[in-house]
Amino acid sequence: MDKIKPIKISPGKLSPDSKMTAVEMGKLWATYMGNSMSRGILEYYLQHIGDEDIKVLLENGLTLSTEILNRIEGFFKKEKFPIPKGFTEEDYNLNAPRLFQDEFYAHYLKYAAKAGLSIYAIALPLVMREDIREFFVFCHDKTTMFLGQINNVLMGKGLIIRPPEIPIPEQVEFVSKQNFLNGFFGEIRPLHALEIIHLYDNIENNATSKALLLGFSQTAKRERVKDFLVRGKDITDRTLEKMQLTLQHDNLPSPSLLDHLVTDSSIAPFSDKVYVFHKVDMFCMKIRSFGNAIAVNGRRDIGLMYSRFLMSIGIYVEDGANILIDNGWMEKIPQSIDRDHLSKN
């Protein structure tokens, strides 16, 4: 097929005048909340930046987040949908001392952009309204382009290693024995390409997450929030160690830790609400990422490793949600009609 042929069809129920579906409402809401948080974080990072290339990345990230928020507000106003409170000036202290070194900002931007991209990729095949679908195409394309810029800066400045290299196969081969699935006993095969890249990706994400947790935990105000963040760091530590050992067993390199990029500041640039929401949101990203890794994994030991990660992370996310609820920080996601409540009243 040389090119995709256009299809002429009346928009009908796909027009911008049709009501938003649960998919469109939910994904716009989630995208708004994430970018509302990111905007203030990037504004703070820009108060402490020396590297000109990374500064441009921060400015591009802030511009993209602001554009996304403005477009979503346009959809919500048209639908008379209440605009979420999200995060406001009271959640950020732009005058706080530097908490992270310049290099960390580039890693953070990649971490956050990957989280956004996962939301947009899921939304695209499910959104029916053409104007909202075009919006998510915009988000997807701009974020993909932005990730390219981030990778170029990281690689160009020597701040990241390339994913592991493996030999090109000499011929097409088929799996002939069930021991291909082994992982605990008997003959255990080397990691295949998809297992390697998901391990690399998850180590990269968790290295950034751990550095964030270090910075957040040393500046959080409430003891309960501080304990929550320290616990998240401990979970991330154990996760990183096991994934790194899995790559090292096959003599493959893994992304470096970023702990040294956290300063000794104890003054909070962000509210405790930002800290807890951010880590609940990003640990939910880990759940998606580990699920994707399980889906392409072929070894029993690696599958069990990810499954155990998911159990501890699921409990952690629920505990974080309880902190948000107890402090009145959790905005309610749009939901369907409670028919049982209506029938009782």
Determine the Cα–Cα distance for residues 238 and 234; give it in Å rounded to an integer: 6
Name the token pair of 141. Answer: 């394309």
pLDDT score, position 185:
77
Shared-domain flag, residues 201 and 113: no
Write phi, then psi, for 82 (nearest 5 degrees): -60, 125
Task: Tally the residues of the chain.
Answer: 345
pLDDT score, position 340:
75
Q: Is residue 176 part of a domain?
A: no
Shared-domain flag, residues 39 and 152: yes
Q: Is residue 181 part of a domain?
A: no
Cβ partners under 8 Å of residue 295, min gap 6: none
pLDDT score, position 343:
76
pLDDT score, position 238:
96
Shared-domain flag, residues 148 and 201: no
Domain of residue 232, residue span: 190-326
Shared-domain flag, residues 128 and 234: no
Kindly report the pTM of this predicted structure: 0.93
**Residue 255 backbone class (left: φ over 0; alpha: ψ -120 to 50; beta: rest):** beta
Q: Is residue 179 part of a domain?
A: no
Shared-domain flag, residues 276 and 231: yes
Q: Is residue 93 part of a domain?
A: yes
pLDDT score, position 16:
65
pLDDT score, position 17:
66
Q: Is residue 277 part of a domain?
A: yes
Shared-domain flag, residues 216 and 111: no
- 134, 156, 178 — which closes off a domain? 156
Determine the Cα–Cα distance for residues 109 and 45; give it in Å rounded to an integer: 11
Q: Is residue 53 part of a domain?
A: yes
Shared-domain flag, residues 40 and 127: yes
Q: Is residue 337 part of a domain?
A: no
Shared-domain flag, residues 88 and 144: yes
The count of domains in the chain is: 2
Shared-domain flag, residues 196 and 291: yes
Shared-domain flag, residues 27 and 144: yes
* CB under 8 A, 24+ apart: contacts of 145-149: 146/60, 146/61, 146/64, 146/109, 146/113, 147/110, 147/113, 147/114, 147/117, 149/57, 149/60
Q: Is residue 218 part of a domain?
A: yes
Local confidence pLDDT in tens for the 345 residues of the chain: 468 887 776 655 556 668 899 999 999 999 999 999 999 999 999 999 999 999 999 999 999 999 999 999 999 999 999 999 999 999 999 999 999 999 999 999 999 999 999 999 999 999 999 999 999 999 999 999 999 999 999 999 999 999 999 999 999 989 888 888 887 777 889 999 999 999 999 999 999 999 999 999 999 999 999 999 999 999 999 999 999 999 999 999 999 999 999 999 999 999 999 999 999 999 999 999 999 999 999 899 999 999 999 999 999 999 999 999 999 999 998 888 777 777 777
Shared-domain flag, residues 215 and 311: yes
- 156, 178, 213 — which closes off a domain? 156
Shared-domain flag, residues 47 and 133: yes
Residue 111 maps to which CATH number? 1.20.1260.10
C-alpha distances out from residue 70 to 31, 32, 42, 66, 306, Å: 12, 9, 17, 6, 38
Determine the Cα–Cα distance for residues 293 and 124; give it in Å rounded to an integer: 21
* CB under 8 A, 24+ apart: contacts of 182-187: 182/299, 182/300, 183/299, 183/300, 183/301, 183/302, 183/303, 183/304, 184/300, 184/301
The alpha carbons of the chain give a radius of gyration, in whole angstroms, of 22
